[in-house]
Structure 1
Amino acid sequence: MSGDERLRAAHAEVKAEIARTDTKTALLLAFIGAVLAGVLTAARDLPLNLPAALTGALGMALLVGAAGLLLRSVRPNLRGRHGFPLWATLDPQEVREAVSGDLAADIAGLSRLAVVKFTSLRRAIDLICAGGGLLILAALLTAGGAL
C-alpha cells in the first residue's frame, strides 16, 4: 500500500469513526428521551417520599446534563475548516485547491474533532450511568420506603 493509499485509508477511517460516534449519540439521545418520559409518567402516579423525590430529581438532572453533552458533540461547527461551510465561502478554483490540499492536515483536523466528540460521548455515558443508578435508587426508595 502506497503512502497516498494509506492516507486515504486513514482519512476514511477517521470519517467513519465520526459517523459511528454521531450514530451512538443519536441512539443515546433517544434513550434518554424515553427514560425521562417514562420516569415523569411513573413519578406522577406514585406516592414519592422526600428521599426518593430528591434522588430521582438528581438522577433526572444528570440525564438532562448528559443530553446536553450529547447535543453539544453533534452541534454543527459553521466556522469549521472542513466540508460545506468552508466550501460555501470559496469560488470554484479555491474549492479545487482546498480539495486537492494536504490530506494529512485534514486527517489531523478530523482526528481532533473525533477526540472532542469521543470525550463528550464518554462523559455523557458516565452521566447516563450515574443518573440511571440514582433513578434505580429512587425506585427502590419508593418501593421500600425511606431508609
Structure 2
Amino acid sequence: MSSEPTRDVSAALDGAFAEVGAQIARTDSKASILLAFCGAVLAGVLAGGKALLVFWPAAVAGGLGAALLAVGAGVLLSVVRPRLKPVARGSLLHWASLTPQELRESMAADHRHEAVAVLARLAVTKHQRLQRAVDLIRAAGALLALAAVLAIGGAL
C-alpha cells in the first residue's frame, strides 16, 4: 500500500492551465512596457542625435546603440505577436475552427492536457524572446551611455 496521496488530475490540469495563461499574460505585459520604453529612448536619441554627430566616435556608438535598441524592439514585437499555430484541441483557436455541433462533441472530451502542453511551449518561447530583448536593450543602453560620454568629452 502506497503512502503517496492520490493526486486530483483534474484540479492539477486546471491549475496548470491557469498558470500557463498567467505566464503568457505576464510576458505580454512586460513586452508592452519595454516596447514603450524602447520607443521613448529612440525618440530621445533622434531628438538629441545632432549632439552625437559632432564627434564621430560618439556617432558610431550612438548609431550602434540605436540599432540594437531597434532590434530589441523587433524581438519584443515577436513576443506580443499572436501565434495562430500550432492549434491544440481544447484551445481558443481549435474552438474557432469548429462548427457548433463539432464544438459540442469536442467539449465532451477533456483536452486540457494538450492545450497546457502547447501553451507551455508558447510561454517558454515568449520568455526566451523577452530575455533576448532585455539583453539587447541592456547592450543598447551601454552603447548609448558611451555615446553620451564621448559626445560630452568631444565637445570639451
TM-score normalised according to structure 1 size: 0.90
- Compared CA separation, residues 52 and 46, structure 1 to 2 (3 A): closer
List gaps (5 residues or longer) in structure 2: 1-6
Aligned equivalent of 2:87, options 81, 84, 87: 81
Aligned equivalents of 2:143 and 2:100: distance in 1?
Answer: 55
Aligned equivalent of 2:50, options 29, 44, 58: 44
Aligned equivalents of 1:45 and 1:145: distance in 2?
Answer: 10
List gaps (5 residues or longer) in structure 1: none
Is 1:125 matched up with 2:131?
no
TM-score normalised according to structure 2 size: 0.85
Aligned equivalents of 1:56 and 1:110: distance in 2?
Answer: 39
Q: Report the counterpart of residue 115 of structure 2 in structure 1.
A: 106
Is 1:59 matched up with 2:59?
no
Percentage of matched positions with identical amino acids: 51
Aligned equivalent of 2:29, options 23, 40, 56: 23
SS of alignment partner, residue 128 of structure 1: helix
Aligned equivalents of 2:132 and 2:24: distance in 1?
Answer: 16
Number of residue equivalences:
146
Aligned equivalents of 1:124 and 1:51: distance in 2?
Answer: 25
Aligned equivalents of 2:116 and 2:101: distance in 1?
Answer: 22
Q: Is the 8 A contact 1:80 1:86 kept in 2?
A: no
Q: Is the 8 A contact 2:24 2:123 kept in 1?
A: yes
Q: Is the 8 A contact 1:79 1:86 kept in 2?
A: no
Is 1:94 matched up with 2:102?
yes
Q: Is the 8 A contact 2:16 2:116 kept in 1?
A: yes
SS of alignment partner, residue 145 of structure 1: helix
**Which amino acid is the alignment partner of residue 20 of structure 1?**
R
SS of alignment partner, residue 81 of structure 2: coil
- Could you say what the CA RMSD is over the residues aligned between the two structures, in angstroms? 1.9
